[in-house]
Chains A and B, each alone.
Chain A
Amino acid sequence: MKKRIITLCYRKIIDVNSNKPWEKLVFEDSYKEFKMQAQFYNQDKKYNIFSELIHNVKGSEKLHFLVSGAIIDYLRKLNDIVPDIANNIGKPFLTFKHFKFEIINSDLRNIDKHVIAINFYSEPLIWHDTIAPYLLTSPIIATEGDVLTDMFAIQPFLTIHSIK
């Protein structure tokens, strides 16, 4: 197989059922920030649900960006390592420098309806080969001698984001 350069995207969904400490902090703080920021687009207090705001209030799509300000320091605490995704020997191996935060839905009256996504865009990998169902990849670093590799399977919410 010809070597290709790929980047992956892992879309991490966080909702009321997410129970790991980091996830809970991101969940709670993003909800608090949403409740504050949404008020700018809801001064008549007409809407309660995020999807209603997005459909009816011009400019409210800025809320994805505005609410991301509440959690960017939590992302920095990950030390550039994409959470949840491990290689086949159980070690996290994907690094990221770029992300995109999304509000999937939310409700000003009820935190249980708050659902967000963080899209983690990995640093480029060399895709050497596929040994089904595993991809054999390595990060792009100059090495002499053996190239250190990872093997991992494509799993739900993980995709190849770009290729060249």
Chain B
Amino acid sequence: MERKNFLRSLVIGAISTPVILEACKKSSTTTSEVGTTTTTTGGSSTASCAVAPTETEGPFPTKVPSSYVRSDITDGRSGYKLTAKIVIGNSNNNCNPLANAIVDIWHCDAEGNYSEYGGSGMQATNYQSVHFLRGRQTTDTNGLVTFTSIFPGWYSGRATHIHVHVYNAAGTSLKVTQIAFPEGTSSAVAAVNGYSKGMSGYTYNKSDNVFSDDSSGIEIATVTGSTTAGFVLNMQISVPA
């Protein structure tokens, strides 16, 4: 098989021969690194003798932070502006501020949808809002992280909420929790009125399967502001660090 290929390649032109043989060698090394499911190609069929890329190598890439590391998580989603200020305290240290903790937050958009893979599972590289309303920040010496987002919408079965996952600096999970929103006639939830959905069928905190057992209201944030000026949310979360 290999001899036939060699003779055939001589017919194409003497110059091209070494390139093809070299490529067969190269392609078998590049494909055999890809894991246990590959069979080595060994150049026994011309179809696998693909020429390996030969071009000036570009500058070597440098480490980039995860695309979640950003303070503004709006990603073009429409909604009332919300500034979320979350302070993390260490429950093993009198709830003193916990610095250098990693805080992930995520929530749904005005329609009640989370960012996730679409039906085909394809993502676009130039589509900024692929991970909309998901973000990561590290607490400062005051234990504070700030996010700029939109006021969340709601979906059937749940009260308005923001998911929070707190990790230590090494990425070990310290707490998975959710932030609840105050209710009542003068509350932000009432002012936003569920965006275009309205509040028909809305689940209030006392009926919510996550918040209904929170009798002391420890999971409820303080929210001020208006639909015109935007809202500010303040929340304190204690974690065992």
Q: Provided the pairs A17-B35, A86-B54, A98-B122 are in contact, do residues A156 and B67 lie with their beta carbons within 8 angstroms?
A: no
State which of A21, A35, A39, A101 has its C-beta within 8 Å of the C-beta of B61.
Answer: A21
Min CB distance, A45 to chain B, in Å? 9
Number of residues from B at the complex interface, CB < 8 A: 49
Q: Is B94 an interface residue (CB 8 A)?
A: no
**A69 to B165 Cα, complex, angstroms:** 16
Contact A72 B63 (CB under 8 A): no
B64's contact among A35, A36, A73, A84, by CB below 8 Å, is which? A73
Q: How extensive is the interface on chain A, given as a class?
A: 35 or more
With A25-B61, A97-B126: A85-B68 Cβ-Cβ less than 8 Å: no
B53 lies within 8 A of A29 (CB):
no
In the complex, B48 has a CB within 8 A of chain A: yes
CB interface residues, A 135-159, toward B, < 8 Å: 152-157
Q: Is the interface of A mostly helix, strand, loop or mixed?
A: mixed
Shortest Cβ gap from A62 to chain B (Å): 6
Interface of chain A residues 74 through 95 with chain B (CB within 8 A): 74-77, 80, 83-92
Given A13-B35, A29-B63, A33-B66; A90-B124 close (CB under 8 Å)? no
User: B-side interface residues toward A, CB under 8 Å?
Assistant: 19, 27, 30-31, 33-35, 37-38, 41, 46-55, 60-61, 63-68, 102, 104, 115-117, 120-126, 130-131, 134, 165, 167, 171-173, 176
**Extra 6 A-B pairs, beta carbons < 8 Å, given A75-B125, A100-B121:** A18-B34, A22-B60, A39-B173, A65-B116, A69-B131, A77-B64
